[in-house]
Amino acid sequence: MTSPKNLLHIFLFIVLGCLLNCKPKKETGNKSSVTDGVEKTYNPTGELFSEVTMKDGKRNGMARDYFKNGKVFTEVNYKEDKRDGTFKQYYDDGTISKEIDYKDDLQDGWSKKYRKDGTKAWQARFTKDMPCSDLTEYYLNGARKTEYPRIVIEPIDELRELGDYTLKISMSDKTNTVTFYEGKLTSEGCFDRNKVHEIFPRQNGFCKLHFHLAPGGFLMEEISIIAVVKTQQGNSYITTRSYNLAINN
């Protein structure tokens, strides 16, 4: 009969063997140095999982991930350890799924999503990771989606009673997957979070801008509103509206 102590040793041996065998295997194209050459990683069952070109210890060149069937899953070029070029993602049958332009590891250019039948699902433009206002989404039949909500601004005048004037801001479809900002888009039509101010508080899809005027006060200015709406396809739809404010108490 095997003693409990021996059973414990056998159990630990089995667990250790499993851990060692389950770790992906690595192999480099240049055996003399892991910092240069093509580094390859394998699945536990032996299929190629990924490969990346290394130079001076950094990713430089093409990097790919693979499906178990051997087809490419993703590929992108690196320059000094940063993505540089067009990232591509594929379905397991080899058809293109997604394309994203990168520069200096930031999304810069067009991002495109394709359905498995090859038709385009959407395309969106970015500048230095900033989403731009020219998102285009497509229905399953290939038609371009054109029905997007617009910004609604409702003035609430309580100047005589409280000395307050409020702009209630919402979307025409009452969506609550929206964030409002005060500010303008860049000259390229892109959203720069560092140059705008989020409007608080935000509740159930609307927010408010408050203005207080003392008796005899006067205020005239142009208010620029940006709405960033999350679409059903997970994109950021950006729309703007200006409001000419002219109030006196």
Note down pLDDT in tens along the chain; length 249 residues.
Answer: 555 455 445 444 444 444 444 444 444 443 334 589 999 999 999 999 999 999 999 999 999 999 999 999 999 999 999 999 999 999 999 999 999 999 999 999 999 999 999 999 999 999 999 999 999 999 999 999 999 999 999 999 999 999 999 999 999 999 999 999 999 999 999 999 999 999 998 889 999 999 999 999 999 999 999 999 999 999 999 999 999 999 999
Domains present along the chain, CATH in parentheses:
24-118 (2.20.110), 151-248 (2.60.40)
> pTM for this structure?
0.81
Residues 6+ apart with CB under 8 A from 136: 122, 123, 124, 144, 145
Extract the runs of DSSP E, i.e. beta strands, from 67-203: 72-79, 82-83, 85-90, 96-103, 106-114, 120-127, 130-131, 136-137, 151-158, 164-171, 178-182, 197-198, 202-203
In terms of Cβ atoms closer than 10 Å to its own Cβ (0-12, 13-18, 19+), residue 43 is middle
Question: What pLDDT, on the 0 to 100 scale, is given for residue 35?
Answer: 82
Neighbours of 121 (CB within 10 A): 17
Please report, as a single letter, which amino acid is at residue 150.
Answer: R
Residue 208, CA distances (Å) to 41, 107, 153, 232 in order: 53, 32, 9, 25
Residue 55, CA distances (Å) to 38, 84, 222 in order: 9, 15, 54
Question: What pLDDT, on the 0 to 100 scale, is given for residue 146?
Answer: 95
Question: What pLDDT, on the 0 to 100 scale, is given for residue 6?
Answer: 53
**Entry field: residues in the chain:** 249
Question: What pLDDT, on the 0 to 100 scale, is given for residue 78?
Answer: 98
Question: What pLDDT, on the 0 to 100 scale, is given for residue 202?
Answer: 86
* 72 token code pair: 């490419």
Query: 209, 198 in Cβ contact below 8 A?
Result: no
- CA 86 – CA 105 distance, rounded (Å): 11
